Chain A
Amino acid sequence: MGRKLLLEHANVPGIETFDVYRKHGGYTSVEKALKTMSPEDVVEEVKTATLKGRGGAGFPAGMKWSFIAKPEGVPRYLLCNADESEPGTFKDRYLMQYLPHLLIEGMIVSSYALGANQAYIYIRGEYMFVLRIMEKAIAEAYEKGFLGKNILGSGFDLDLSIAPGGGAYICGEETALIESLEGKRGNPRMKPPFPAVQGLWQCPTVVNNVETLATVVPIINMSAAEYIKIGTEQSKGTKLISASGNLVRGGVYEIELGLSVEEFIYGDDYCRGIKDGKKIKALVPGGSSVPILPAHLITKTANGDQRLMSYESLSDGGFATGSMLGSGGFIVFDEDQCIVRNTWNFARFYAHESCGQCSPCREGTGWMEKVLNRIEHGQGNMRDIDLLADINKKIEGNTICPLGDAAAWPVAAAIRHFREEFEWHVTNPQEAVTRNYGLLKSVTA
């Protein structure tokens, strides 16, 4: 078992309350930062820790913070992105549900670093029960003097509140999140200007994922120098992984980056292998938008190296033979699953969630869904497979936000690695309707 920096106390009874959380070392990073460090020191520490954004894009958090504009007399805002909607990802929900004070603690320290006196958590509307847990914790933190005016006598003020979304994947994109928090439709904005210059209400704004903000706590507590001793050369610290699909034991796990994929899937401390003794057929390691990996590229890279749970190892081989760590949404497919059906399912998701602002995405995701739907249901032809690749190219890189890319990548990867399965659906239309390809032919490791 690796070290746990975030979830260490997740199972302690009552840890969602201030007193129990405090008794287990909670809020010490706030004391340390506010009493012994300058805001710049905190930013430097997070930079030194090379903390990458845990929401999916992996952009260095410290660098994002250092971009924030500081015009005189203009308020700055910290927004926590809790709109967790990437299929396969449910770690932020777990963290907020069981350790609400950890997020609050991380947000206090982060707001201090940024000079923000107002912070908001934007949580997806479907997590209303989590919002209520968070609101209770926020009220406790106010009561205990960790939020509000003059926190711990430091002179630093912070107000924090939480706002729900209304059911829109796109609001996880940071500028769409800002639009939504302004009370509008979640249409992403053109960049530049970046939120660090003009974000919420045109003021300098930083948007960070729940897990990213929570990770600031152990970094400050243990120091960046200690933090970077955990992990691999390019992936430091720990990461929450949401494991789902055909596993014996799915759920949320905190891993040390650099753990082998094999250990994570089959190890007793983790997922304990594939359900019902079946074989693994494919893996989507970082949420629905990252490329799917076929069985022979899961535990080993194309070079034959051991595949590790790290940013660099999961992307080893580029999109040809690799994938991405992304949000850590780890979806496992057993030998009986149909890749065409799953690809259609994901395409339907993106078609449903496209905001409709950019035509390549609005039209393209809809067409991909239609074409995949007809292949899956035995009405496709061979040209359709190339048509998908063509639509893909026309979406990728041609949209304001990354949703277009996120929709295109999984389709391209599925065809790259499982083309024969798509062809089988075309040549066996009758069986494509009545039987699952996965049940006919298994790709084994």
Chain B
Amino acid sequence: MRLEITEQKRPELSEAAKAEIARVIGHYPEGRQKSAILRVMHIVEEEAGGWLSPDTMDMIAEILNITPIEVYEVATFYTMFNLQPVGKYVFEVCRTGPCMLVGSDNIITYIENKLDIKVGGTSADGMFTLKTSECLGACGYGPMLQCGEEFHEFLTPEKVDELIEACRRGEIKGNKVI
């Protein structure tokens, strides 16, 4: 993955996030704090509005006492991390075999039309980003999408409509707006 530079100042971490970071670093022996990197990146990404800017990654390097490149190389390897700004809600629709067999292609097209965006894009109002994902481990319950930490399974166009409405009403946990 290419690392495009988009500027965003590092977030101010909440006390809860700081405590959580200290807790997860504590799972590893002295000097092995780098092992906590993925967990710390998940925590900081949430604090930073759902994506990681280079400046934010530099902050993670400082927290873990490692070099910035060690964070960049991890960030560009693992697909869960957003390295560009995203909408308040990110829909990741599983597109792999078992979900495709039960109609994930139709769900992707339906969302594209409904929100007037293409896969990878964010709606004009900044509310929704649509992504596709490889197998999310819900094969028996497809088609499905992940939004935040939640899985939404056995999707139909009606269920997608309901989910979008619930997001608009603020009933679903979305990314922090920074």
Contacts and interface: CB of A to CB of B under 8 A. Distances in A.
Nearest to B101: A245
B97 A88 contact: yes
A353 B137 contact: no
A331 B79 contact: no
A346 B150 CA distance: 25
Interface in A166-183: 166-169, 180-183
Given A125-B78, A245-B98, A245-B102, A163 B35 contact: yes
Contacts of B135: 85-88, 169, 288, 349
Interface stretch (B38-46, B106-114, B159-167): B38-46
Interface string B97-132: 110111000000000000000000000000000000
Contacts of A89: 137, 139
Contacts of B139: 87-90, 242, 244-245, 250, 329, 331
Nearest to A86: B135
B10 interface: no
B138 interface: yes
Nearest to A249: B140
A183 B36 contact: yes
Given A245-B101, A331-B98, A342-B100, A183 B37 contact: yes
A166 B97 contact: no
A185 B101 contact: no
Nearest to A83: B137
Chain A contact residues: helix, strand, loop or mixed: mixed
A118 B150 CA distance: 30
A417 B119 CA distance: 34
B134 A164 contact: no
A337 B74 CA distance: 38
B80 A126 contact: yes
A181 to B, nearest CB: 6
Given A89-B137, A345-B100, A164 B38 contact: yes
A88 B100 CA distance: 11
A124 B36 CA distance: 14
A93 interface: yes
A90 B97 contact: no
Contact of B80 (A125, A186, A251, A349): A125
A129 B78 CA distance: 18
A294 B100 CA distance: 19
A353 B70 CA distance: 21
B137 A84 contact: yes
A166 B74 contact: yes
Nearest to B80: A167
A242 B150 CA distance: 20
A89 B135 CA distance: 9
Interface residues of A, number: 55
Contact of B137 (A124, A168, A185, A349): A124
B143 to A, nearest CB: 11
B96 A87 contact: yes
Nearest to A92: B137
Contact of A166 (B80, B95, B102, B150): B80
B140 A90 contact: yes
Interface in B133-176: 133-142, 146, 149-151
B62 interface: no
Nearest to A247: B140
A168 B101 contact: no
Contacts of B98: 87-88, 244-245, 331
A352 B41 CA distance: 22
Q: Which of B32, B64, B77, B136 has the most CB of A within 10 A?
A: B77
Nearest to B64: A183
A274 B134 CA distance: 25
B73 interface: yes
A59 interface: no
Contacts of B141: 90, 250-251
Contact of B35 (A127, A128, A168, A181): A181
A179 to B, nearest CB: 10
A164 B42 contact: yes
Interface string A308-333: 00000000000000000000010101
A244 B137 CA distance: 11
Interface string A336-358: 01000110011001001101000
B27 interface: yes
Contacts of A120: 27
A358 to B, nearest CB: 15
A359 interface: no
B38 A163 contact: yes
B134 to A, nearest CB: 5
Interface string B9-43: 00000000000000010010100101111110110
Given A128-B42, A129-B150, A181-B35, A90 B134 contact: no
Nearest to B71: A183
Given A168-B77, A331-B97, A244 B39 contact: no
A165 interface: yes
Interface in B61-81: 64, 66, 70, 73-74, 77-81
Given A163-B39, A345-B97, A201 B134 contact: no
Nearest to A162: B27
Given A87-B96, A126-B80, A163-B38, 18 more contacts: A88-B98, A89-B137, A125-B42, A125-B80, A126-B146, A163-B35, A167-B80, A183-B36, A183-B38, A185-B73, A201-B32, A242-B139, A242-B140, A243-B140, A250-B141, A252-B140, A329-B139, A342-B100
5 contacts: A166-B41, A167-B78, A251-B140, A284-B97, A349-B96
Complex A-B, nearest 3 residue pairs according to Cβ-Cβ distance, in ascending order: A166-B78, A167-B80, A250-B140
